[in-house]
């Protein structure tokens, strides 16, 4: 299975060991995003990285595990509840003047969002090339929700999937 390296910029501590270890120069880019055209998937950068910021991912993802429509519907319902919960706790956080309560609600909001994202991924959105992901992107491209919506990025994504 052909793999390429990706870098998690949040974990990267910029010590540049991956730049020295990469045989093709794929890690040496202006924007810190590994050049997938140059990457041969050898894994030297991931082995060298002290922050575990680099992972090797398959170029073509394996097929996602099949789920019945009933399971998918239940997952999406739970995801909707998580979105509602996140909205509620963020309203509490915005309205309180107590620092402790603000921090607690903010932490719960972030945790709720992560759970919601996991539920959405499991409900047929795990793979970027899934039909569901493509439909959502196409809907957003056809009807951008805000004036500053990154339409060009979505169009690029659609073309690359
Ligand atoms: S080796 Fe890891 S931490 Fe260092 S620059 Fe590369 S990705 Fe970032
Ligand atoms: S996997 Fe190998 S070729 Fe690809 S970026 Fe890492 S070191 Fe370079």
Provide the CATH topology of domain 3-58.
Alpha-Beta Plaits (3.30.70)
CA distance linking residue 158 with residue 156, whole number of Å: 5
CA distance linking residue 34 with residue 55, whole number of Å: 11
Domain locations in the chain as residue ranges: 3-58, 64-127, 128-161
CA distance linking residue 48 with residue 9, whole number of Å: 16
Do 23 and 44 touch, CB atoms closer than 8 A?
Answer: yes
* Assigned token pair, 1: 């299975």
CA distance linking residue 5 with residue 3, whole number of Å: 7
Distance of CA 58 to the CA centre of its chain: 15
**Per-residue confidence band for 125, with pLDDT thresholds at 50, 70 and 90:** confident
Q: What pLDDT is stored for residue 61 in this prediction?
A: 78
Segment 20-65, tens digit of pLDDT: 999 999 999 988 899 999 999 999 999 999 999 999 999 887 777 7
Give the residue whose CA is nearest to atom 8 of ligand 2.
22
What pTM does this model have? 0.58
Of 5, 12, 39, 43, the one to substitute when testing ligand 1's pocket (max ligand atoms within 8 A of C-beta) is 12
Is the beta carbon of 7 within 6 A of some atom in ligand 1? yes
């Amino acid at each position: 299975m052909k793999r390429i390296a990706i870098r998690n910029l949040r974990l990267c501590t910029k010590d540049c060991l991956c730049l020295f270890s990469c045989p093709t120069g794929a890690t040496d880019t202006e924007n810190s995003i590994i050049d997938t055209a140059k990457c041969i998937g050898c894994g030297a950068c991931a082995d060298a990285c002290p922050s575990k910021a680099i992972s090797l991912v398959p170029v073509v993802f394996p097929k996602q595990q099949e789920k019945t429509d009933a399971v998918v519907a239940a997952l999406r319902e739970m995801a909707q509840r998580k979105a509602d919960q996140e909205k509620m706790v963020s309203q509490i956080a915005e309205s309180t003047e107590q620092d402790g309560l603000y921090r607690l609600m903010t932490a719960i909001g972030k945790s709720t969002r992560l759970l919601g994202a996991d539920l959405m991924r499991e409900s047929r959105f795990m793979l970027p090339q899934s039909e569901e992901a493509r439909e959502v992107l196409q809907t957003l491209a056809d009807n951008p929700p805000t004036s500053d919506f990154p339409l060009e990025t979505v169009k690029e994504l659609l073309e690359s999937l």
